[in-house]
């Protein structure tokens, strides 16, 4: 199964494409030597036209640099790679279906009082306003959140809430894996189906590859669970396979929802130890703020199944209104052409740019864009205490080295970096000034920021923001300060070469 994952890895495909090009060039030289000049000329012209397309595109600078570095010196190879990976070969009907579903649901959801929201959020209003404008989601000031600092705590609460489900349970995960966690949850879901509860599950085909049987979704369907795979893998090279559903969403009866870093697998609740202690985080949302989770799940499910759900029955009218001082704004993010904006990245930049005192971040991977680096650097220059925690024990060695290769420039900019020594930190968190926090699925790497379907929630004000801050402070206390970090020269050289390919990692 590891081989199959390697087979659809972009870096692997690039290496294969290089070898193929060398072979083709040799064949052309042997059998088409008299037409070699014409072949080279046509390739060069096409490559130059693609060069102009790249220069004038709205892609981030790192992506442009990658394609220019490939197209100019290697015209034929560059053309193949560009047409394979740069173009988003997502069926237009799929994009239209998801867009229509979101639009239809938005048409009957309550419209927030933006003036009241602006007054409530004060200087943090811009963070929520951006998500409303580009993610097409609305925040809510009458919801309640509960923060779970471990997968174990979250799963216990999740199990309890599903036991109480009366109408429906929606679940969307990157990974579902056989084990104690899934066995316990699976039995409960089958029992709920017998009770007349509608259960829908979406899991990513590549994320769950080797973790459940290839046709496992069919087995679940026979049990009455409506289950679909996202972006099924076939033995054909295509850029679309790089766009994975990395979201983690649970919705119960339209009034309780969860999102965060944890998938369904024993490592997420520390039933097994793969890389030391697995540190994760999930947030529970109660109230109307759950509507946005429901909306995003239905758009994905209907997009895959091509059905039209009866939307109204999944958005209860009599949802409890919570009186507190927190504002909840859930949002989804996805690759082009679904989202022309890099919503997750821009949300991070907005939070960092709003900070005046501190910004604390945890992320399993740290392969950041120039835009993110600039916002972190500028925050330090403003006197903001910026701290980032990454794992000390890696799950992917190459990505670990690439993560560490970013330390020096961040340390030189004044960012404080720590490595979580007890194990692998998988939580994706950001908190600033005791005012705003992010919990979600978005890693600080190009894969999450550009290629995957992601989601998360901004929490403005309230107890959960302070709980997230305290959790990160506890993590920092257990972590190693990397202020004197030095990288092996050979590894540093390797990462310098790989840097141009960071947009593919």
Residues above pLDDT 90, as percent of the chain: 60
Residues 232-245 pLDDT 10s: 876 555 555 578 89
505/403 Cα distance (integer angstroms): 11
Q: What angle do CA 296, 301, 306 make, to 5 degrees?
A: 125
Sheet bearing 249-252, strands edge to edge: 144-148, 282-286, 256-260, 249-252, 168-173, 198-204, 226-230
Supply the pLDDT for residue 355. 97
Q: For the chain, first and last CA: distance in Å? A: 19
Residue 131, phi then psi, degrees to nearest 5: -65, -35
Which of 5-19, 270-284, 394-408 shows the lowest mean pLDDT across its residues? 5-19
- C-alpha distances (whole Å) from 166 to each of 23, 195, 196 are 61, 8, 8
Q: Determine how β-strand 256-260 pairs with β-strand 198-204.
A: unpaired
Instruction: Give the mean pLDDT of 78-95.
Output: 66
pLDDT band with cut points at 50, 70 and 90 for residue 98: confident
- pLDDT averaged over every residue in the chain: 87
Supply the pLDDT for residue 42. 76
CB contact set of 491 (below 8 Å; sequence gap of 6+): 401, 404, 405
Supply the pLDDT for residue 239. 53
Print burial letters for 206-234: b (CB count within 10 Å at least 16), e (below 16): bbbbebbeeebbeebeeebbbbbbbbebe
Supply the pLDDT for residue 215. 92
Residues 273-329 pLDDT 10s: 999 999 999 999 999 999 999 999 999 999 999 888 998 899 998 899 999 899 999
Where is pLDDT greater, at 330 or 501?
A: 330
Where is pLDDT greater, at 279 or 1?
A: 279
Instruction: Give the mean pLDDT of 260-284.
Output: 97
436/57 Cα distance (integer angstroms): 33
Supply the pLDDT for residue 260. 98
Quote the longest CA-to-CA distance of the chain. 80
* Per-residue pLDDT at 199 exceeds 90: yes
Supply the pLDDT for residue 87. 60
Instruction: Give the mean pLDDT of 32-60.
Output: 73
Helix and strand counts by DSSP (H, E) for the chain: 19, 17
User: 230 has which bridge partners?
Assistant: 204
Instruction: Give the mean pLDDT of 328-345.
Output: 86
Which of 5-19, 303-317, 487-501 shows the lowest mean pLDDT across its residues? 5-19
What is the set of domains in the chain, with CATH numbers? 2-86 (no CATH), 92-123+138-326 (3.30.870.10), 343-504 (3.30.870.10)
Supply the pLDDT for residue 350. 98
* Per-residue pLDDT at 340 exceeds 90: no
495/499 Cα distance (integer angstroms): 6
321/255 Cα distance (integer angstroms): 10
* Per-residue pLDDT at 403 exceeds 80: yes
Instruction: Give the mean pLDDT of 52-71.
Output: 74
pLDDT band with cut points at 50, 70 and 90 for residue 56: confident
Supply the pLDDT for residue 458. 98
Where is pLDDT greater, at 38 or 6?
A: 38
Q: Strand, coil or helix: what is 247?
A: coil
Q: What angle do CA 51, 61, 427 make, to 5 degrees?
A: 135
Tokens 């994905």 correspond to what residue?
A: 300
pLDDT band with cut points at 50, 70 and 90 for residue 445: very high
Spatial contact of 227 and 190, defined as CB atoms under 8 Å apart: no
Supply the pLDDT for residue 265. 98
Instruction: Give the mean pLDDT of 191-213.
Output: 95
- C-alpha distances (whole Å) from 332 to each of 90, 102, 247 are 18, 11, 8
Supply the pLDDT for residue 248. 99
62/308 Cα distance (integer angstroms): 39
Instruction: Give the mean pLDDT of 241-251.
Output: 89
247/171 Cα distance (integer angstroms): 10
Supply the pLDDT for residue 12. 58
Supply the pLDDT for residue 115. 75
Supply the pLDDT for residue 337. 58
pLDDT band with cut points at 50, 70 and 90 for residue 35: low
Residues 120-141 pLDDT 10s: 888 899 999 999 999 999 999 9
372/376 Cα distance (integer angstroms): 6
pLDDT band with cut points at 50, 70 and 90 for residue 10: very low
**333: which 2 tokens?**
């993010």
Instruction: Give the mean pLDDT of 94-119.
Output: 78
Print burial letters for 341-352: b (CB count within 10 Å at least 16), e (below 16): ebbbbbbbbbbb
Spatial contact of 289 and 117, defined as CB atoms under 8 Å apart: no
Spell out the alpha helix ranges (H) of 164-239.
180-194, 216-222
Supply the pLDDT for residue 338. 64
């Amino acid at each position: 199964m590891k081989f199959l994952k390697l087979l659809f890895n972009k870096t692997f495909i690039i290496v294969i494409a290089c070898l193929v090009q060398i072979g083709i060039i040799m064949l052309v030289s042997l059998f088409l030597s008299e037409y070699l000049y014409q072949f080279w000329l046509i390739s060069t012209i096409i490559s130059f036209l693609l060069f102009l397309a790249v220069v004038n595109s709205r892609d981030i600078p790192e992506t442009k640099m990658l394609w220019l570095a490939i197209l100019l010196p290697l015209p034929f190879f560059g053309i193949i790679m560009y047409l394979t990976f740069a173009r988003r070969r997502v069926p237009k009907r799929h994009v239209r279906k998801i867009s229509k579903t979101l639009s239809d649901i938005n048409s009957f959801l309550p419209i927030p009082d933006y003036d009241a929201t602006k007054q409530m959020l004060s200087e943090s209003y811009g963070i929520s306003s951006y998500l409303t404008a580009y993610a097409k989601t609305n925040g809510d000031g009458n919801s309640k959140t509960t923060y779970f600092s471990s997968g174990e705590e979250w799963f216990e609460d999740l199990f309890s809430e599903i036991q109480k489900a009366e109408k429906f349970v929606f679940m969307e995960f990157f990974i579902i894996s056989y084990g104690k966690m899934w066995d316990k949850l699976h039995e409960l879901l089958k029992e709920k189906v017998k009770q007349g509860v509608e259960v829908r599950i979406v899991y990513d085909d590549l994320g769950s590859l080797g973790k459940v049987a290839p046709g496992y979704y069919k087995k679940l369907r026979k049990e009455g669970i409506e289950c679909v795979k996202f972006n099924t893998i076939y033995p054909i090279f295509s850029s679309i396979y790089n766009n994975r559903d990395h979201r983690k969403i649970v919705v119960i009866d339209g009034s309780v929802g969860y999102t965060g870093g944890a998938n369904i697998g024993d490592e997420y609740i520390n039933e097994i130890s793969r890389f030391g202690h697995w540190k994760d985080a999930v947030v529970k949302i109660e109230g109307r703020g759950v509507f946005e989770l429901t909306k995003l799940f239905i758009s994905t499910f209907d997009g895959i199944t091509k059905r039209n759900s009866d939307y109204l029955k999944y958005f209860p009218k009599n949802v409890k209104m919570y009186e507190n001082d927190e504002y909840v704004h859930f949002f989804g993010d996805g690759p082009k052409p679904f989202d022309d904006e890099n919503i997750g990245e821009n949300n991070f930049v907005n939070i960092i740019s709003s900070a005046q005192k501190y910004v604390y971040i945890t992320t399993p991977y740290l392969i950041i864009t120039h835009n993110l680096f600039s916002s972190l650097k500028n925050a330090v220059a403003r006197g903001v205490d910026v701290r980032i925690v990454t794992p000390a024990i890696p799950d992917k060695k190459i990505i670990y080295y690439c993560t560490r290769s970013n330390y020096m420039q961040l340390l030189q900019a004044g960012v404080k970096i720590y490595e979580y020594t007890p194990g692998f930190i998988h939580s994706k968190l950001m908190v600033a000034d005791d005012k705003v926090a992010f919990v979600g699925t978005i890693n600080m790497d190009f894969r999450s920021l550009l290629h995957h379907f992601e989601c998360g929630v901004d929490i403005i004000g309230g107890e959960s923001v302070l709980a997230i801050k305290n959790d990160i402070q506890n993590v920092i206390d257990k972590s190693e300060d990397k202020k004197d970090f030095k990288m092996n020269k050979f590894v540093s050289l390797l990462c310098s070469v790989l840097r141009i390919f960071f947009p593919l990692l």
